[in-house]
Structure 1
């Protein structure tokens, strides 16, 4: 079956596109993108996940999704993710989240455990209560968001591997499509939230992938995250930074496929 992009209208009233690919009878895998990106950030990963039915939405405020003035608290983002599955008539799915998308995935697993069969957390935080160093730059952002500002923001997450220029250009396009208020509101929602593993328990089987040169998330925090999720597996990519999905899509796909294939 070929791929499609389907417009979804959620019970919350938000309208957003969702990329869908794979055999309709295959096991469902929901992909949650990072802050400032879109479902197109999975363009290099999704083709490597052929044994699953892929669902990759643009999340509220990002990509071509609606961009309301509010609704960006972590709990609201998790509610959107649950509503996306409901709109797709998918009662339960594997969930892979990249960076802050992995934070949303954790909140989904805590708040809507019936929706989550397993988690793959790719460079996902334990907590964002300590605001990152770039917060002031986001707070000062004004419209229209410029190409130069978005390109400069990539320096916050140094890359150790070569990433195709077209992929970088697409992420610039993602960033310039987001209004300044959305950049701020999502960051505020992430940083003001109670970390999911402090507000509840994650019972879903979980694979945690962390880059050994991640200057945003520490190994100690990732080890704590793993300790809080019973039976979880932590794998370190020693030669990657924070943006594992950008740097190592082949390895992420292989590790996710191996982990999820072993589950029944």
Structure 2
């Protein structure tokens, strides 16, 4: 198992300070792991613990989430994308493979489209093409649109439960739920509002870097058609379908994700 170290990145004036986890060999191929809605770097802990020596992974916790600074505003997808570039600047990463999990892939692909000079490749793990046609997203908005502090722990537990096709350890799920509760109510509301009100299909345009799309065929949120939209829009992209896997492949089968990621980089980069 690889050692995981946690540091802080100061992004500069007007931007938050972000904690980040780091694993792998210094000098290895840099990866930046981008978590999704309400997560923190902890969502990638199973991957970080298994990080091969040839890779050097950084997993920042985004503004408002986990132990990161929690400004009153700045929760549009473009805000998170700008923080991502500032994070790379802050820790000295010139160019990296961006690995986006769930909605974190939206922020990663915005950077890939706008700053291809900083992106060697893009990996999208259970990332929606759009949320406009996702009933579960609308249902969750009903639950959080009027949310007040303190956030109900039962709501947090329900958010992380049921995303995988196979059961996970209760201790890991509790850690994820506890991390979710570190986000105040305004972060729950405004981050989801930003994802729902942004034209996410438009964020797929202009991406010319090699792209790997991973989707579990038991995903309770995303469909094969949704993933096909990504393939049809990004020219140099390919899809891997994980049979029997749910929305979060990097929880269910982190070893396979790392193998496929390593092969993708060897073949395309």
The TM-score bracket by the shorter chain reads over 0.9
SS for the counterpart of 1:201 is coil
Residues 197, 225 of structure 1: 8 Å contact kept: no
* Corresponding residue for residue 187 of structure 1: 192
* 2:210 corresponds to: 205
Aligned to 1:30: 32
CA shift for structure 1 position 74: 0.7
The one-character-per-residue Cα deviations of 1:169-210 (angstroms, maximum 9, x if unpaired) are: 110111111101001111111112222645631111111001
- Contact kept, 8 Å, 1:123 with 1:244, in 2: the verdict is yes
Q: Which residue of 2 aligns with 1:60?
A: 63
Q: Give aligned pairs, total.
A: 263
Alignment-derived partner of residue 220 in structure 2: 215
The equivalent position to 2:104 in structure 1, one of 77, 98, 101, is 101
CA drift at 1:245: 2.1
Q: 1:129 Cα deviation (Å)?
A: 3.0
Runs of 5+ in structure 1 lacking a partner?
none
Quote how far apart the aligned CAs of 1:242 are.
1.4
Q: Which residue number corresponds to residue 142 of structure 1?
A: 148
CA distance in 2, matches of 1:199, 1:54: 24
Query: For the residues of structure 1 that align with 2:249 and 2:29, how far apart are their CA atoms?
Result: 24
Say whether the 8 Å CA contact 2:4–2:49 is kept in structure 1.
no
Q: What is the TM-score of this pair, normalised by structure 1?
A: 0.93
* RMSD of Structure 2 on Structure 1 (CA): 1.8
SS at match of 2:173: helix
TM-score, normalising length from structure 2? Answer: 0.92
Residue 19 (structure 1) aligned to one of 9, 13, 21 = 21
Aligned residue for 2:9?
8
Runs of 5+ in structure 2 lacking a partner?
none
User: Does the residue aligned with 2:46 lie in a helix, a strand or coil?
Assistant: coil
Compared CA separation, residues 52 and 196, structure 1 to 2 (3 A):
farther
User: Structure 1 residue 44 and structure 2 residue 46: aligned?
Assistant: yes
1:122 and 1:197 map into 2 onto residues whose CA distance is 19
Instruction: Give the whole-Å Cα distance in 1 for the aligned partners of 2:238 and 2:82.
Output: 26
Contact 1:49/1:257, CA 8 A, preserved across alignment: no
Question: Could you report, residue by residue, the CA deviation over 1:77-120 in whole angstroms, capped at 9, with x for unpaired residues?
Answer: 10010110010111110011110111111111112221110011
The equivalent of 1:151 in structure 2 is 157
Q: Distance in 1 between matches of 2:259 and 2:42?
A: 19
